[in-house]
Amino acid sequence: MRTSTFLSVAAALTSSVSATVYQGFNYGSTFTDNTAKTQADFEAEFTAAKNLVGTSGAFTSARLYTMIQGNTVSDPIQAIPAAIKEKTSLLLGIWASGGQAGVTNEIAALTAAITNYGTDFTDLVVGLSVGSEDLYRVSVTGLINDPTGVGADPTTLVEYITQVKTAIKGTALANVPIGHVDTWNSWTNSSNNAVIDAIDWLGVDEYPYFQNTVSNSIDSAYDLFWEAYNATAAAGGGKPVWITETGWPISGKTENLGVPSLANAKTFWDEIGCASAFGKVNTWWYVLQDAAPTTPVPSFGLLGSTTSDATLGTQQPLYDLSCANVSLPASLLSSPSTATTSGATATRTGSTSGTQTTPGSAGSTGTGTGSGSGTSGTSSSQSVSPSTKANGASTVAASSMFLACALFAGAALF
Ligand SMILES: *[C@@H]1O[C@H](CO)[C@@H](O)[C@H](O)[C@H]1NC(C)=O
Ligand SMILES: *[C@@H]1O[C@H](CO)[C@@H](O)[C@H](O)[C@H]1NC(C)=O
Ligand SMILES: *[C@@H]1O[C@H](CO)[C@@H](O)[C@H](O)[C@H]1NC(C)=O
């Protein structure tokens, strides 16, 4: 049992190393005041990502939460023509917590985009996620962190996945890998296995900062991160696991031992991004810039908060993003987490994980620059999630945006 678990983890890692490895950011569809991002706004973001000082043009992929242009019923999101212009690859998202009507509109936007933009669009698509943290929002922890959270249960998600597959059959996106994005402890909850069976890849949102029920100082972040990744890979039984959101905030509330700061955000970038994930696992970081005009708390933006496309174009990162001379500290290099297999197995046993909250995705409505914002809601005790908001669809209230994903566990994962 342990052996097969281990092999499946190894298989998942191997398969994500073999092909092109994508690297990019998450992009919401609206600003925190609910105005919709336009094509020009997306172009400014995609350009800023490619020109991000210190990163040598590596950030050329965009993960979206919705197919729908903000404040429309079912128009294709203007991130698509922006991506075509900027040659930015796309991890598409269908917002799946807006009920059947919302998903029907998402599918209408998807099919309209295929028709309107043709292969200029479809050639850029690296994957399509049906849903974002929908299972987390209706989990025990999700509801503790946000009792008003709206999600979707596994049966409903599988139905939506089937609808999306039917909609793309016979189109240029017929072979696009279909996935779902959720928190790691949603993936390890076997009640959700039907979703895993229905998809080609698992997207995992991981924020050790929010794992406030375990020892989650920045010094533990590397191990917490990879334990959660490995647990997801084991649950996935060999299907690839993509890192769809991760990051460490520069400011905001302290979550147990997780302290937001520039220094800690840089350490997280160096250890998780530079030294281990970038170039090896498809990764969409959270986040290029904070949502605006209201800066979210906590703040995850590499560029801080920007207020206009022009400012964005000249913004310097808040800390050094160069991976050139980055290597893992000796303490991590010698730890089982980077060791070979046998050591790794040993570590996992007994690991705990705690609550991880994700900034994640938020709510339903859409949003933001990704980040979610702090705008609404939040009563602060919950761990807020910066996350993302998604879609512009109207359905849910913007205020439910914070997700926090707490992933807990306690139980040995392997
Ligand atoms: C496990 O998943 C099911 C189905 O999504 C959910 O109802 C349940 O609350 C989850 N369990 C926990 C402990 O979150
Ligand atoms: C990396 O280290 C070398 C040798 O110390 C130095 O010359 C170079 O400027 C460094 N590169 C960066 C991007 O910091
Ligand atoms: C995760 O799995 C990889 C591959 O098996 C292993 O090398 C690594 O040590 C594991 N990390 C942790 C923290 O368990």
Please list, in sequence order, all residues whose beta carbon lies within 8 angstroms of the beta carbon of residue 15, skipping any fewer than 6 positions away: 238, 240
Domain total of the chain:
1
- CA 67 to chain CA centroid, nearest Å: 16
Q: What is the pLDDT of residue 158?
A: 98
CA of 258 to the centre of ligand 1 (A): 26
The predicted pLDDT at position 208 comes to 98
Nearest CA to ligand 2 atom 13: 324
Tell the residue nearest (CA) to atom 6 of ligand 1. 139
Which residue puts its alpha carbon closest to atom 2 of ligand 1? 191
Best residue among 56, 270, 321, 325 to mutate for probing ligand 2's pocket (most ligand atoms within 8 Å of CB) is 325
pLDDT of residue 188: 98
Query: Which atom of ligand 1 lies closest to the CA of 189?
Result: 1
Distance CA 184, CA 112 (A): 33
The token pair that represents 48 in the structure block: 């800023």
The backbone torsions φ and ψ at residue 177, rounded to the nearest 5 degrees and listed phi first, read: -70, 130
CATH code (residue 14): 3.20.20.80
pLDDT at 335: 53
Query: What is the DSSP secondary structure assignment for residue 272, as one 8-state letter?
Result: I
Contact 111, 94 (CB under 8 A): no
Are the beta carbons of 279 and 23 closer than 8 angstroms?
Answer: yes
Alpha carbon 185 to chain centroid, angstroms: 14
Ligand 1 touching residue 192 (CB < 6 A): yes
Give yes or no for a contact between 360 and 375, defined as CB atoms under 8 angstroms apart. Answer: no
CB of 41 closer than 6 angstroms to any ligand 3 atom: no
**Mean pLDDT, 10 residues at a time, over the chain (414 residues)?**
43 54 97 95 97 97 98 98 98 98 98 98 98 98 95 98 98 98 98 98 98 97 97 98 98 98 98 96 97 91 88 91 90 54 25 36 33 26 34 27 29 24
Is residue 170 exposed (0-12), middle (13-18) or buried (19+ Cβ within 10 Å)? exposed
Q: What is the DSSP string of 7-39?
A: HHHHHHHHHHHHS---EEEEE-SB-TTSPBP-H
- Amino acid 338 reads T
**pTM for the full predicted model:** 0.83
Spacing, Cα 223 to ligand 3 middle (Å): 9
Scan for tokens 């990879």, then name that residue: 226
Domain span at residue 74?
2-413
Of 193, 79, 195, 63, whose CA–CA distance to 128 is shortest?
63
Q: For residue 96, which amino acid is it?
A: A
Q: Quote the CA–CA distance of 65 and 176 in Å, as a whole number.
A: 17
